[in-house]
Amino acid sequence: MNLHFMKKTQRGLFLSLSLLVVFSFLLAACGPAAATTEAPAPTEVPTEAAATEAVPTTTEEPKPLPPITILINESPWLAGFEALVNKYVEETGNQVTLNRTPFNGMLEKSRNAVQASESEFDILTLNEQWYMQFYADGLVTPIKDIDPNFELDPQIIEYEWATRWDSELGYSSEKGELYGLPINGNIMLYFYRKDLFEAQGLAAPQTWADVEAAAQALKSGDMSGYVVRANPPNWEFQAFLASYGGNVIKLDEQTGEWEVTLNSPEGLEALNTWLKLGTEYGPANFADNGQAEMIALMASGKVPQMVLVGAAAPDFDNPEKSTVIGNVAAVPVPGSAAGMNATMSGIWVMGVPHNLPDERKQAALAFLNWALSKDAQLFYAQSGAIPVRQDVYEEMANDPKLGWWMKAMADSTPFIHAQPRLAETPQIIEVLDRRLKQALISEITPEQALLEGAKEIHKILTDAGYKVKPLAE
Amino acid sequence: MNPSKLSPTPNQVGISSRLGKFIDRTFQYWTVAPLVITLLLLVAYPSYQLIRMSVSEVDIVKGETVWEFVGLKHLETARQDPVVPTALKNTLVFVIAVVIIETILALVISLLVSRSNHFVGLYRTVLLIPLLVPPIAIGTMWRLMYDYNYGFINQALAVFGIPGPTWTADPQLAMPSVILVDLWHWTSFMFLIILAGLESLPQEVNEAARVDGASESQILRYITLPLLRPTLLTAVMLRTIFAFKVFDEIFLLTGGGPGTATEVISLYIYDVFSGQFRLGYASFLALGLALIISIFVIFYRRVGQRAQA
């Protein structure tokens, strides 16, 4: 009797448990789709101003817009951006929350946001190497879809059309539709130790030959003559390439045909110059330096000159980091000859996700409109960020504290070049980085690096369905 | 208990009896059903998705996932991809080096600790510390230690007048430098398993051998190691699986460089997936890596079965 009872109880227990598990899974599976696709609760920290009470409004003042959340990367210009946001909140009463994210998590968070039923972010901050995919796949909203009367202020620099996407040609061109607005105007500058140059009677270099002469004169003991950026190398190399009149790829807008020109004679000259400066005049670990290491080398007085992102300039004036305060100067990146200067765009743009209700899109655009105004951009620059307006750079060129590099930024605008801007750019950049690194450590010759790289890029474009001219070998 | 309350009606008896027979017949299935369903949802479905992605091009357009079946296109892409052979070669070099060296090191340390009569707890604690540190922290810590200009190692060498090498910038030194960090991190894991195995061995056999005049090296060679073989095989198999998936340390130490000197397959999969957003091709490479690991697992199991036989 007891055994029979136990058997029945066990049976019942197992049956109940089984049914419970099955039922749980069915319930979970039948739940609303949004619950499974929505990103987890963000770890935003409201800005100080957002945390305070909204500025009281009178009946005449416009109704505050809905609060917005901005996905922003933790970078040296974040403090300036936070100051800008706080000013916006104070002036308008509109609330802004910042989701501060390290660089490595930005792309994943952005992708998750645009795949959800409704984006958790009202504004995405997109890097130079990502935004093309967001434009091409329609993951951010064309600005004119939000405000058909929107006109971009001509003083806002477009960084060779980083803001636009031409869906017919499949790349960023002047004729493309406006998808994003620049928020950080990172370009390269040439930094040099003016005290050491003056002591040697050297003028600010205008050409790579000048740079090499300075490297030769200044290399000694602990001091390297020059340092190249090896991690990753593509960005700096592309400035050398553009300064020799070369490109990685080129579009014939008449025929719509692409041409891979990486392995051109200009490409070889550029690569040889870059390699020579890096290996002959660089530090012993020339193949291992990223941006952070380069800043540290300059700030500690171990390198007299380098090409580096403009945003690094404040580090050389920071008494906590720099031993060379007041001794660093900046000019546009030199060229193969005088006037052939070239600097690469490495900007960030802000885009409004496609999956937002109109009210949230309007609120996002209202912030961007305000943030790109001249007054806001002047405040932004004074707060330590990198503005995106030419008139602001020109005005800031006279600033006693920041003028030394703001002038170089203003002077560099005519020389801005862009890396290939296609949906396949990340693949092209991977090839460039790998082949350049191989050449830098002499794993392959410069000719091989360019030819093999060109073949791979040609294949990427062909496989992606572009019309591509045969590769000149 | 009131028996009248338990007395069923004839109709209830019939239903209950039929239900009871049905449950009896299918009882075995019901008992395993939760496990089977859980496995299906947690293992089989993601595996199915991985396989499906590996034969597809997957893109996200306007927030919608667009799938296109491409068959074995990714196999052809992998065959022509110059990074794949380099990454596979580097991965194999890394796996073979770390598994062999860590096994030997852990075996030696385990033997020493198991024979020690003092501070055994302290040894265990100290030796386990590397295993407790997150790989991200390990990568960062060693990156700073290896730094050519400011790193502790080169500064220590400079005290003795020895010029420090460029640990992570020299193509000849980069892989050994990465392997050294992995040894520091994962030898503890092997030590833990091997020590547990050693301590579970019957001591009577050793004592009998000693009585018969066997030396310590003979005991080690003819008794301890053969008895430890199943434990060693398990440890080596697990370590091989983990080593194939190495990512964090190399990502932080060298990023796969200089050149392609430390480019391993996991790092490349990450780049293809996250950097290039080629979901289909990345899935194919991930599936390939899983297959390679499976081959090693089957090999170890065969060796284990043969040893047991």
Residues of A in contact with B83 (CB under 8 A): 434
Give A-chain residues touching B149 at CB under 8 angstroms. Answer: 283, 285, 293, 296-297, 300, 302
Residue of B nearest to A442 (CA): B259
| Judgement on whether residues B117 and B240 belong to the same structural domain of the protein | yes
Please name the member of A283, A355, A437 whose beta carbon is closest to the beta carbon of B63. A355
Tens of pLDDT, residues B74-110 = 999 999 999 999 999 999 999 999 999 999 999 999 9
- Mean of all residue pLDDT scores within chain A: 87
How many degrees, rounded to 5, is the angle at CA A129 between CA A412 and CA A185?
A: 30
Which residue has 């790998």 as its token pair? A434
Residue A422, both tokens = 């296609």
Mean pLDDT of B246-270: 92
Distance from the Cα of A97 to chain B's closest Cα (Å) equals 24
Rounded Cα–Cα distance for residues B280 and B49 (Å): 11
The pTM (predicted TM-score) of the whole model is 0.80
CB-based burial of residue B217 (10 Å sphere; 0-12 exposed, 13-18 middle, 19+ buried)? exposed
Q: Tell me, what's the pLDDT at B116?
A: 83
B95 and B196 both lie in a single domain: yes
Per-residue pLDDT band at A31 (split at 50, 70, 90)? very low
CB contact under 8 Å between B63 and A354, yes or no, is yes
Please tell me the distance from the alpha carbon of residue B158 to that of residue B241, in angstroms, as a whole number. Answer: 39
**ipTM tops the 0.85 cut:** no
A430: pLDDT strictly greater than 50: yes
Residues B37, B171 within the same domain: no
- Chain A residue with Cα closest to B23: A11
- Taking the C-alpha atoms of residue A222 and residue B148, their distance in angstroms, rounded to an integer, is 12
Which tokens in the block code for residue B265?
């397959």
Q: Of A115, A430, A456, which has the smallest distance from its Cβ to B276's Cβ?
A: A430
Strand A416-417 with B56-61, pairing: unpaired
Check residue B65 and give its pLDDT.
Answer: 82
DSSP B237: H
Q: B30, B32, B154, B278: which to substitute to probe chain A, counting the most A Cβ within 10 Å?
A: B30
pLDDT at A117 over 80: yes
Q: Quick one: B267 and B302 in the same domain?
A: yes
Position A151 pLDDT exceeds 80: yes
- Smallest CA–CA distance, residue A335 to chain B, in Å, is 26
Q: Show the domains of chain A with their CATH numbers.
A: 45-51+62-186+346-396 (3.40.190.10), 188-344+421-463 (3.40.190.10)
Please tell me the distance in Å from B184's CA to the nearest CA on chain A: 23
Mean of pLDDT values over A70-94 = 93
Sort A169 into a burial class: Cβ within 10 Å, 0-12 / 13-18 / 19+.
middle
Contact yes or no for A231 and B257 at CB 8 A:
yes
Residues B260, B122, single domain; the answer is yes
**A250 - beta bridge partners?**
A259
B35 plus B183 within the same structural domain: no
CA A227 to chain centre: 22
Rounded CA gap, A311 and A309, in Å? 5
Domain co-membership, B116 together with B14? no
The nearest CA of chain A is from the CA of B150 a distance in Å of 10
Give the sign of the dihedral formed by CA A123, CA A125, CA A128, CA A133.
Answer: negative
pLDDT score for A277:
97
Asked if B60's CB is within 8 angstroms of A231's CB, the reply is no
Domains identified in chain B, total number? 2
Segment (H or E) for A90: helix A78-92
What is residue A46's predicted lDDT score, i.e. its pLDDT?
43
The 10s digit of each residue's pLDDT in B21-47 is 888 888 888 888 888 888 888 888 889
Burial readout A340-362 (b: 16 or more C-beta within 10 A, e: otherwise): bbbbbbbbbbbbbbbbbeeebbb
Closest residue to B166, CB basis, from A288, A354, A426: A288
- What pLDDT, on the 0 to 100 scale, is given for residue A30? 42
Indicate the residue of B24, B27, B277 with minimum beta-carbon distance to A426: B277
Which region among A11-15, A23-27, B65-69, B260-264 has the lowest average model confidence (pLDDT)?
A23-27
Tell me which of A93 and B1 has the higher pLDDT. Answer: A93
Q: What angle do CA A37, A42, A46 make, to 5 degrees?
A: 150
Answer for the pair B171, B261: CB distance below 8 angstroms, yes or no.
yes
Shared domain check, B111 and B83: yes
* Residue B50 shares a structural domain with residue B108: no
Task: Tell whether B22 and B79 lie within a shared domain.
Answer: no
Contact A25 B37 (CB under 8 A): yes
Domain coverage including residue B228: 73-308
Nearest to A21 among B34, B258, B260 (CB): B34
Contact A231 B169 (CB under 8 A): no
pLDDT of B15 reads 74
Our CA-based measurement puts residue A462 at a distance from the nearest CA of chain B, in whole angstroms, of 13
- Is the preceding omega at residue A357 within 30 degrees of 0, hence cis? no
Given a cut of 70, is residue A342 above it in pLDDT? yes
Are A287 and B33 an interchain contact pair (Cβ–Cβ within 8 Å)?
no
Q: Is residue B64 part of a domain?
A: no
Query: Is the model more confident about A38 or about A280?
Result: A280
> Edge-to-edge strand order for the sheet containing A45-46?
A45-46, A96-101, A68-73, A123-127, A348-351, A181-184
pLDDT at B8: 60
**Predicted confidence band of residue A52 (pLDDT cuts 50, 70, 90):** very low
- What one-character DSSP code corresponds to residue A187? B
Q: Which of A43-57, A342-356, A451-465, B194-208 has the weakest average pLDDT?
A: A43-57
Residue A59 reports pLDDT greater than 80: no
CATH number of the domain bearing residue B162: 1.10.3720.10
Contacts with B90 from chain A: Cβ below 8 Å:
none
| β-strand pairing of A305-309 with A348-351 | unpaired
How close, in Å, is residue A75 to chain B by CA atoms?
A: 18
pLDDT digits 0-9 by tens, A407-421: 999 999 999 999 998
| Percentage of chain B exceeding pLDDT 70 | 95
Are B255 and A434 inside 8 Å of each other by CB? no
Q: Are residues B47 and B80 in the same domain?
A: no
A221: left (phi over 0), alpha (psi -120 to 50) or beta: left
Question: What integer pLDDT is reported at residue B294 of this predicted model?
Answer: 94
The answer to whether B264 and B285 are in contact (CB under 8 A) is no
- Report the C-alpha gap between A248 and A419 in whole angstroms: 8
**Helix, coil or strand: residue A339:** coil
Distance CA A112, CA A118 (A): 10
B172-178 own/partner pairs: CB under 8 Å, 24+ apart: B174/B254, B174/B257, B174/B258, B174/B261, B174/B262, B175/B90, B175/B93, B175/B94, B175/B261, B175/B262, B177/B146, B177/B253, B177/B254, B178/B94, B178/B249, B178/B250, B178/B253, B178/B254, B178/B262
Q: How far apart are CA B12 and CA B290, in angstroms?
A: 54
The pLDDT score that the predictor gives to residue A222 is 85
Q: What is the DSSP string of A236-254?
A: HHHHHHHHTT--SEEEETT
Structure confidence at residue A47 (pLDDT): 44
CA distances A179 to A97, A141, A145, A360, A416, Å, are 22, 6, 9, 16, 20
* Partners of B57 in the β-ladder: B68
Chain A residues touching B257 at Cβ < 8 A? 230-231, 287-288, 437
Are residues B161 and B37 located together in one domain of the fold? Answer: no
| Residue A384 one-letter amino acid | G
Q: Which residues pair with A104 in a beta bridge?
A: none
Angle at which helices B279-308 and B45-54 cross, to 10°: 120
Min CA distance, B39 vs chain A (Å)?
A: 12
User: Is residue B153 included in any domain, yes or no?
Assistant: yes
For residue A456, list chain B residues with Cβ-Cβ distance below 8 A: 82
Query: What's the number of CA atoms in the CB half-sphere (13 Å) around residue B128?
Result: 11
pLDDT tens column, B167-221 = 998 999 999 999 999 999 999 999 999 999 999 998 888 889 889 888 888 999 9
CA distance B100 to chain A (A): 28
- Which chain A residues are closer than 8 Å to B20 by Cβ? 8, 11
CA distance B275 to chain A (A): 6
On whether the CB atoms of residues A295 and A322 are closer than 8 A, the answer is no
**Is residue A44 exposed (0-12), middle (13-18) or buried (19+ Cβ within 10 Å)?**
middle
Per-residue pLDDT, averaged over A204-213, amounts to 96
CA nearest neighbour of B267 among B245, B283, B288: B245
- Cβ–Cβ < 8 Å for B303, B123: no
Give the CA dihedral A126, A131, A135, A137, nearest 10 degrees: -100
Higher pLDDT, A272 or A6: A272
Over the stretch A262-317, which tens digit does the pLDDT of each residue have?
999 999 999 999 999 999 999 999 998 998 899 999 999 999 999 999 989 988 99
Tell me which chain B residues have a C-beta less than 8 angstroms from the C-beta of A426: 275-277
Q: Best of A437, A455, A462 to disrupt the B interface by mutation (most B CBs within 10 Å)?
A: A437
- With CA atoms as reference, report the closest residue to A168 among A262, A251, A260, A259: A251
Interface A-B: count of C-beta contacts within 8 A: 113
Residue type, B95: V
Chosen for mutation from A285, A321, A440, A445 (greatest number of chain B CBs closer than 10 Å) is: A285
Residue B137 CA to residue B101 CA, distance in Å, equals 23
pLDDT of residue A38: 32
3-state secondary structure of A177: strand
**How far is it, in rounded angstroms, from Cα A226 to Cα A291?**
14
Tokens for A11? 């049976």
Asked, for residue B66, whether it belongs to a domain, the answer is no
Q: What band does A134 get if pLDDT is binned at 50, 70 and 90? A: very high
Distance CA A19, CA B280 (A): 37
Please say if the pLDDT value at position A24 is more than 50: no
Nearest CA in chain B to A9: B20
Check residue B277 and give its pLDDT: 85
Give the pLDDT band (50/70/90) at residue A338. confident
Interface test with A, best of B62, B143, B162, B253 (most A CBs within 10 A): B62
Task: List, in sequence order, every residue forming a beta bridge with A126; answer none if it has no partner.
Answer: A349
pLDDT interval class at A43 (50, 70, 90): very low
pLDDT at residue B150 in the model: 83
What pLDDT score does A10 carry?
52
Torsional class of A136: left (φ above 0), alpha (ψ -120 to 50), beta (otherwise): alpha
B274 part of a folded domain: yes
- B67 lies in some domain: no
- What was the pLDDT predicted at A292? 87
- What pLDDT shows up at residue A75? 84
Residue B283, burial from CB neighbour count under 10 angstroms (0-12, 13-18, 19+):
buried
Helix axes A374-382, A78-92, angle to 10 degrees: 140
| Facing A285 at nearest CB: one of B31, B166, B276 | B166
Phi, psi of A127 (to 5 degrees): -80, 155
Residue contact A441–B65, C-beta within 8 A = no
| pLDDT given at position B18 | 83
For residue B203, tell me if it sits in a domain: yes
State both tokens at A357.
């209700």
Report the residue of A434, A444, A457 to disrupt the B interface, i.e. the one with the largest count of B CBs within 10 Å: A434
